[in-house]
Amino acid sequence: MSNEDKNEDWEDLDAIDEEYETWKSNLDQMYGMVFEEEFKESFMTVQWLPGSETSKEGITKQRVIYGTLEQKKNELYVGEIEAQFQGKESKGEVKHKPELKTLRKIPHEGDVNRARYNPKKSDIVATANENGTIQLFNIQDGKKVLQDLKKHEANAFGLAWSSDHQLVTGCDNGLITRWDALKGSVIHTYEVMHPETPKEPAGVNDIAYQWHEGETTQLFAAVSESGYVHFFDSRQDGSQAANVFKAHDEAANSISFNPFSSYLYATASTDSSVGIWDLRFTKTRLHSLLGHSSSVQSLDWNPFLSNILMSASDDRRVLLWDITRIGQEQTPEDIEDGAPEVLFMHGGHKHSVHDVSWNPEHEWCVASVAGDLSLQVWRPLDQIVSPVDATVKNSQLE
């Protein structure tokens, strides 16, 4: 590296530090609550757990899971956030200072690429590592529920639970496995192939089930390095996808189904865009959300409002999108602030944001982890986001 390159790197770091200090100086104007914890390790994954407890004083305790990577001894963390997730926001009000307590550190084989809890039994958590090993833990006692599930032989990031204790996982060599997580047995295996070169496998970057509360899930989808979305129906035999279509010209990194709509879902790509799609019309995307300046790594639909989507990117930003604002007219001043769909921008991280998670029990509360070795918990001010009260109905997509 030349001295000129080094100087440019230092200038970039200085600019990032300056942006961070500017962000910190404006917290009161943007957030109802914000918390940051810096670690010695980096995390690739984060997810809130259900089951919060709130005191008479309005102080809530809630667990969150996250895990380390690239350490000699990696660990799956179970933490507890104590904070005022909801409440009045007024100048001069003494707010409870958020705290993070580590409840448990569970020894983990390899990097914790992804950790997700079983929606039917939240103390059971599945993880995927860089060797393709799937591990299941009971986070109450820190013990493994089953022997490691070893079907993959490559870096695994795809991991999703169904509504009936099935687990589907995917890795870089294009292999997808559907497991009976209670027995630790393989139900079915699938192959994700590159449609343009059928004999070449396409690495799986993410997997998601389409499911709604009270319904049995049958459909799941994977997004791949080839930029395609691959749909699978668990009721059908065969190892190939039931439907495949090209979503992005570059790698597709994340997919998320809207929990309120039978048809609406979103994809994210290395091309810095987020695509909004209707399951019935896969050849044409409904809309492109353009607000990030680098690869988008993670997506999560809001669990309370069908029109709100969250995305995290290598540009160090987390964006909250309101899709009911698509096509909204803007003044010249508004145009300078970005796309009309951007409801809120979180700029508190100094490095790529790896994963984000909506709190399932407290509106607008988010957890995010990034390459700057930080875990942040935050909630935008009510007056910024509270006017949002819309529901996207299936009829609106037609």
Using alpha carbons, select from 152, 166, 275, 270 the residue that is nearest to residue 218.
166
* The pLDDT value given to residue 335: 67
Spatial separation of the C-alpha atoms in residues 89 and 87, rounded to whole Å: 6
Q: Which amino acid is at 70?
A: E
* The pLDDT value given to residue 10: 43
Name 161's bridge partners. Answer: 167
Q: What is the residue-wise DSSP string for 232-274? A: EETTS-SSS-SEEEE--SS-EEEEEE-SS-SSEEEEEETTSEE
Q: How confident is the model at residue 387 (pLDDT cuts 50, 70, 90)?
A: low
pLDDT in tens, 280-318: 998 889 999 999 999 999 999 999 999 999 999 999 999
Residue found under tokens 């939240």:
122
372: phi > 0 → left, psi -120 to 50 → alpha, else beta; which?
alpha
262 CB-contact burial (10 Å; exposed 0-12 / middle 13-18 / buried 19+): middle
* Mean pLDDT, the chain, integer: 89
Longest dimension (CA), the chain: 64
* The pLDDT value given to residue 3: 40
Which regions of 129-251 does DSSP assign to beta strands (E)?
Answer: 134-138, 143-144, 156-161, 166-171, 175-180, 185-191, 193-194, 197-201, 204-209, 219-224, 228-233, 243-246
Spatial separation of the C-alpha atoms in residues 313 and 293, rounded to whole Å: 8
CA dihedral 318, 324, 327, 333 (to 10 degrees): -50
CA 12 to chain centre: 27
* The pLDDT value given to residue 5: 40
Q: How confident is the model at residue 2 (pLDDT cuts 50, 70, 90)?
A: very low
In Å, how far are 30, 163, 265, 372 from 27, measured between CA atoms?
Answer: 5, 39, 32, 19
pLDDT in tens, 29-85: 999 999 999 999 999 999 999 999 999 888 999 999 999 998 999 999 999 999 988
* The pLDDT value given to residue 391: 60
